[in-house]
Structure 1
Amino acid sequence: MARRRRRPHPALPQGLQGGAGAAEARDQYRSTPTILRAANAVAAEDPEALPKLLRPADPAAPPGAAIVIREVPTPEDDGRAALAWVQALRRRLPELPWRECAVLVRAGFVAEPILAALRQASVPVRLVTDREPEPPKEVLATVAWLRLAMSRGDGGRWDPAADDAFRRACAFPARGIGGALFGRLREHAAAGGLALAQAVATLPATPKERQGLEAVLGVAGEIAAGVARRRLGPADALRLAAEASEIAERLAPGAGPAKPGRPCCRPRRRRAASPPIATAPRSAPCRARPRRPTRCR
């Protein structure tokens, strides 16, 4: 919980004490002083951010444990590391209920491999967020395709920051790229310090395996070329990404798959005209019993 303070903080430089460059100071009630010092150091590296100083609400608070940074090569390894941490915590505190344990993540897509690892180990887990529910996967995939397309530089190199967009683009629409192949691509990219998209060119794989990966890069290149050639704005660029990746076809009215258990409609057979059940003059309303609707067979 953070409380925003409008008055200047005495520890700030004199030039930031007021006026247009006024800074914000926030009292933190949960984070330890060690974490706050690290956060202040990271925030100070951003020249466009509003200067602010995070400090503990209790000046006499203990510094807390040291910050430990563990690097993992793949999201799957991240999930296994989170699982190991939770299991070690339960071994130290066996009386601790599961509802008292939590893993904090910075974004929803980061939670996916962690949730998978916990569920595979039969750990009762649920995702809790204060944000609105995520949009449909078609919308997320369209955004990912556009991010991937825009991540290619002038020299043909792909930006590693778009690795998650590449992963989502490979997964939807499905192109036959299996988990084992994608795992090999991750290891190959990590070994060479490359973006996932950049590592496709040198990945040891069969022509059939490479076909799906190269198709993803080809569509991304088509989107990037279209955006640059037509100088599209954000809305038109998203529309182009949806069309080039064939996601627009899935979002079209009536394009969804049939519901499970719904019978398939076939052409109806022509039947001989039935004799009228009852007749009446044109001036009087017809009292004929309506036909039963024809069922799909």
Structure 2
Amino acid sequence: MTRYLITGAHGMLGRDLQAALDAAPGERTVTALSRADLDITDPEATLAAVAGHDVVLNAAAYTAVDAAETDEQAAHLVNAIGAENLAAASRAAGAVLVQYSTDYVFDGAQAEPYAEDAPLAPVSAYGRTKAEGERRARAAHPEGTIVLRTAWLYGEHGSSFVRTMMRLYREHGRLTVVDDQHGQPTWTHDLAEQTVRMLDAGVRSATLHGTSSGATTWHGFAQAIVENLGGDPRDVAPVPSSDFSRPAPRPANSVLAHDGWAALGLAPLRAWRDALDEAMSSGALRMPAAD
């Protein structure tokens, strides 16, 4: 019997992790704790919560990228100190920690995909706190921490770029989306299932990239969403990022390489468009009916 603990369990990824574990074969017990149930910035509470578990999946994070620019301390507490607390507690319990991280730990300046061992060079407060979370988690539990970086997430639960584009296209019939940021749209359903496969394969310590295969721009992503809605992709106009002033800089290149999976005998996540097509056709991203 493998005993799992999910932190941030009421979020988009946390809820899909619960579903993936429930659907996976084998004997498992899952403890799902929301932010209200466990404050991971409290070391004593974290130690008590992790005790008795074999695997900890840390889906808790401060993800308000722009707000972090003016409140980096709050982001640091959750993303760095919280990760360290979970790693230390996991080490004490003999558990494996999966620390979900982000493309924002890189500066986005290089042309090619970022390898798993590429130097960290965050350019935003959010990115700095997540990079520090990686470092602190590894330092606290080097033999039992898996850093799993992801990006451009969307899913059934919660808000996402996909739902926003669906709503705006339904309301206006046209969209304007940036076309100079490259990345990998990733369905949380796929990331959750990949997490389970990884752990079932016996992985205990690694740095891996949990993003869909292939790459596109936000503009290309929006075009695919519109196409799946039965609309005309030409209704999506491309614009440069400079047209949208935001507090936190965004990486121009968020494309992550997937070589680490092959070294473990595992396939990377499927192509982003295949995942998006299934997510939308299955009704997982269904929008409420218009008033």
Q: More strand by proportion, 1 or 2?
A: 2
Q: Which has the larger radius of gyration?
A: 1
Higher relative contact order (CA 8 A, sep 6+): 2
Q: Normalising to structure 2: TM-score of the pair?
A: 0.22
Q: More helix by proportion, 1 or 2?
A: 1
